[in-house]
């Protein structure tokens, strides 16, 4: 079957030159992988390898995605609202700018206006711009922190939040209706311009966004003697990140080699701030400048990682630890300033550490855990905004994978908000207590407990890999095992069945259905099994509370290894 599709592409007389070139010199096995299926459009959008074929990202698969989105918008809003338009942003990757223009060309064929940025912009600014322009939707062309061979496509609703499953599934249905990718109508870009179907966004939107980000500061007049090293890892926060910190009075030193918008990410193996290896150049500059804080953001600037100078070396915090620090600083300082809300809510996910939740509750805040994926936190922020009776206030949202939002004018992870708050916290503790952020984290552990978490990825490729993942999940789902690794299961949560099993009782979980399971053991340790939504792997998350950081680290390693052995034994 795939050979017929391949021949159709090969013989298409107007085939894009980039795509045509990629068809040359391929083996049968390579061609089969390029054409045996359609690139999956899931609830998180699309992500894949750049190249020719139905299973690759190219102008034709991008058009297909936009065709589905356009049909959804026309059906949902009617033709009279199409002038509200769609905001489109892109990162620094290969074909990102071209794909953003292709998106506008498809939308324009339906009479839908596009707001385009002239150049790359952070994903959180896209989220902000959707609401600022009163647009119908938003699009970001990005593959986040994936390797250079990848690109992707994410879509946002009119509230600046990634579409949640109910709506995304409807869009997926429209996407899947298109069988002939070459039949999708597009307008020439000159035609878009002449019919006012494109408007460009730039400095005015940047300023509006940065002005909002600056409101995150609790002590804007703080003296700022710290040296901060910053790297955007070749991505979208380079210009705005430096501008933000400098305009707020911080001494920021950018890593020049990584300020370059390099689509090949030549200075790193993988542009992911979760990996301490990406800080190598930042460390070199930090040592030269005696910088107390290193900051890195991923290419689309929604994630943030930090390194802290401690005992003459840099220590890198994980997402749970950075989140806990920000929650503690935010709530403690709001309490002193008299601005702590009476009905504040902190949001995390079912795989996030319990440390941040424990801190939040100690300040009288409610804590709500969503499924993994920041779209669910964004959705809950909207629900809060619309619930006038409860008068609850959004305080903070975060997940373990280095994503944070302080104020919900952005309905997604926002590394610029996070970098401003963490820079202020580092400066505040240095000025007032002569402590580093790591000193403060140790204080928090001492007060609230030594929480530590870990993650193990099990890569299972291809069709057989997907079948294996399904087997594993079904085995844990159907198995009535009462203990794991000698520890009794006290809570089992199955988010696909929407059931919580606790003390012999069954409760309903009021969250969207998702193929995720969480087990809480008698010593308050826990583990979660979750198939990745964008990559061929099964994720095992685990967390414990120890009597010391060393003990907690060892316990997490043992828990992950033990569950991994059980998973490996599933047949």
Residues 178 and 47 in one domain: yes
Taking 70 as the pLDDT cut, the residues of the chain under it are 534
What is residue 38's predicted lDDT score, i.e. its pLDDT?
92
- pTM to 2 decimal places: 0.95
Residues 533 and 409 in one domain: no
Residue 234 corresponds to which tokens in the numbers above? 């070749």
The domain boundary residue, chosen from 405, 423, 448: 448
User: SS3 breakdown of the chain: % helix, strand, coil, rounded to 5?
Assistant: 40, 25, 35
Residues 416 and 454 in one domain: no
Exposure b/e, 476-513, CB count within 10 A at least 16 = b: beeeeeeebeebebbebbbbeeeebbeeeeeeebebbe
The CATH number of whichever domain residue 35 belongs to comes to 3.40.120.10
In three-state secondary structure terms, 511 is: coil
183 a catalytic residue: no
What is residue 534's predicted lDDT score, i.e. its pLDDT?
65
Residues 217 and 194 in one domain: no
The domain boundary residue, chosen from 317, 350, 365: 317
Q: Can you tell me the distance from the alpha carbon of 196 to that of 170, in angstroms, rounded to the nearest whole number?
A: 29
The domain boundary residue, chosen from 182, 201, 220: 201
Cite the DSSP H helix spans in 91-202: 96-109, 123-132, 165-177, 189-194
Burial (CB count within 10 angstroms: exposed 0-12, middle 13-18, buried 19+), residue 79? exposed
392-413 per-position pLDDT tens digit: 999 999 999 999 999 999 999 9
What is residue 466's predicted lDDT score, i.e. its pLDDT?
85
Report yes or no: 230 and 279 within 8 Å, Cβ to Cβ.
Answer: no
Q: Can you tell me the distance from the alpha carbon of 201 to that of 349, in angstroms, rounded to the nearest whole number?
A: 33
What is residue 42's predicted lDDT score, i.e. its pLDDT?
79
Which of 96, 144, 237, 514 is catalytic? The answer is 144
Residues 423 and 355 in one domain: yes
Q: Can you tell me the distance from the alpha carbon of 436 to that of 438, in angstroms, rounded to the nearest whole number?
A: 5
Q: How many CB atoms lie within 10 A of CB 449?
A: 17
Residue 318 corresponds to which tokens in the numbers above? 């994980």
Residue 80 corresponds to which tokens in the numbers above? 């009279």
Structural domain count of the chain:
4
Residues 19 and 142 in one domain: yes
Q: Can you tell me the distance from the alpha carbon of 416 to that of 49, in angstroms, rounded to the nearest whole number?
A: 28
The CATH number of whichever domain residue 535 belongs to comes to 3.30.310.50
Residues 262 and 376 in one domain: no
What is residue 43's predicted lDDT score, i.e. its pLDDT?
73
CA-derived radius of gyration, the chain? 24
Residues 179 and 328 in one domain: no
Residues 172 and 219 in one domain: no
Residues 438 and 555 in one domain: no
- The domain in which residue 245 lies consists of 209-317
Q: Can you tell me the distance from the alpha carbon of 279 to that of 305, in angstroms, rounded to the nearest whole number?
A: 9
Residues 331 and 308 in one domain: no
Residues 423 and 470 in one domain: no
Show the CA angle centred on residue 301, arms to residues 58 and 319, nearest 5°.
120
248-295 per-position pLDDT tens digit: 999 999 999 999 999 999 999 999 999 999 999 999 999 999 999 999
């Amino acid at each position: 079957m795939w050979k017929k599709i391949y021949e159709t592409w090969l013989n298409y007389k107007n085939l894009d030159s980039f795509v045509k070139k990629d068809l040359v010199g391929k083996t049968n096995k390579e061609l089969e992988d390029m054409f045996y299926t359609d690139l999956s459009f899931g609830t998180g959008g699309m992500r894949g390898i750049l190249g020719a074929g139905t299973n690759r990202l190219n102008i034709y698969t991008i058009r297909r995605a936009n065709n589905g989105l356009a049909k959804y918008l026309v059906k949902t809003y009617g033709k009279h609202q199409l002038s509200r338009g769609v905001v489109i942003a892109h990162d620094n990757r290969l074909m990102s700018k071209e794909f953003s223009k292709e998106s506008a060309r498809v939308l324009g064929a339906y009479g839908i206006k596009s707001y385009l940025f002239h150049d790359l912009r952070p994903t959180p600014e896209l989220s902000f711009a959707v609401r600022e322009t009163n647009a119908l939707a938003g699009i970001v062309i990005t593959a986040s922190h994936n390797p250079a061979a990848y690109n992707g496509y994410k879509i946002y609703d009119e509230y600046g939040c990634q579409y949640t499953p109910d709506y995304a599934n409807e869009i997926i249905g429209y996407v899947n209706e298109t069988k002939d990718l070459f039949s999708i109508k597009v307008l020439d870009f000159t035609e878009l311009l002449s019919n006012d179907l494109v408007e460009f966004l730039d400095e005015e939107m940047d300023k509006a966004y940065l002005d909002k980000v600056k409101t995150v500061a609790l002590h804007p007049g703080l003296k700022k003697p710290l040296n901060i090293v910053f790297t955007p890892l070749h991505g979208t926060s380079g210009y705005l990140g430096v501008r933000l910190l400098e305009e707020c009075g911080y001494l920021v030193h950018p890593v020049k080699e990584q300020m370059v918008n390099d689509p090949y990410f030549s200075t790193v193996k993988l542009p992911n701030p979760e990996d301490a290896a990406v800080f190598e150049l930042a460390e070199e500059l930090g040592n030269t400048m005696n910088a107390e804080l290193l900051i890195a953001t991923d290419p689309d600037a929604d994630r943030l990682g930090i390194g802290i100078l401690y005992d003459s070396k840099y220590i890198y915090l994980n997402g749970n630890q950075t989140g806990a620090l920000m929650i503690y600083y935010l709530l403690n300082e709001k309490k002193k300033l008299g601005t702590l809300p009476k009905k504040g809510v902190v949001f995390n996910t079912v795989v996030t550490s319990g440390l941040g939740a424990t801190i939040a509750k100690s300040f009288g805040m409610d804590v709500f855990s969503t499924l993994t994926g920041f779209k669910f936190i964004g959705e809950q922020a909207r629900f809060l905004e619309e619930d006038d009776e409860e008068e609850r206030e959004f305080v903070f949202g975060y997940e373990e994978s280095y994503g944070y939002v302080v104020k919900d004018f952005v309905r997604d992870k926002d590394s610029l908000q996070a970098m401003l708050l963490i820079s202020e916290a580092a400066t505040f503790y240095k000025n007032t207590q002569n402590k580093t952020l790591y000193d403060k984290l140790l204080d928090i552990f001492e007060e609230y407990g030594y929480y530590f978490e870990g993650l193990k990825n099990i890569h299972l490729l291809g069709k057989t890999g997907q079948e294996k993942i399904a087997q594993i999940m079904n085995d844990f789902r159907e198995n009535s095992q009462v203990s794991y690794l000698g520890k009794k299961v006290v809570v089992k949560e199955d988010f696909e069945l929407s059931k919580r099993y606790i003390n012999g009782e069954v409760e309903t979980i009021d969250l969207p259905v998702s193929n995720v399971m969480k087990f809480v053991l008698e010593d308050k340790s826990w583990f979660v099994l979750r198939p990745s939504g964008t990559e061929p792997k099964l994720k095992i998350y685990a967390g414990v509370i120890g009597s010391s950081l060393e003990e907690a680290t060892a316990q997490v390693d043992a828990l992950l290894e033990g569950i991994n052995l059980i998973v490996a034994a599933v047949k």
